[in-house]
Amino acid sequence: MNTAQRIHDEVKRMPEALVDRVLDFVLFLEHRHGLDGDREQANGTPDAMNKLLANPLPLKEGVKLPVKREELYDRICLR
């Protein structure tokens, strides 16, 4: 029995909630090792996180990064 067949047999006995976690882990490994290409997620939607990271939202004018913790709490609305 090869490894893929053994994994298949083990997963068949698992409850659906755990099978979803196994799938997430497999997709994570594919992504980490560059094997995912342009594949869509199992639910049929594109990987939104990759799209966001590839094209981040622009910052508002005057916003600078990194933000210091003290600056987060020093807002007019909180005074």
Q: What confidence tens digit (pLDDT) does each residue in 26-63 have?
A: 888 888 888 876 555 544 455 666 666 666 667 777 77
Query: Can you give the pLDDT at residue 38?
Result: 55
- Taking phi over 0 as left and psi of -120 to 50 as alpha, with beta for the rest, 46 belongs to beta
Query: Can you give the pLDDT at residue 76?
Result: 67
Domain residue limits at 12: 3-78
Q: How many domains does the chain have?
A: 1
Listed residue (40, 2, 42) closest to 20, CA to CA: 42
> Residue 8: is its pLDDT beyond 60?
yes
pLDDT band at 5 (very low <50, low <70, confident <90, very high): very high
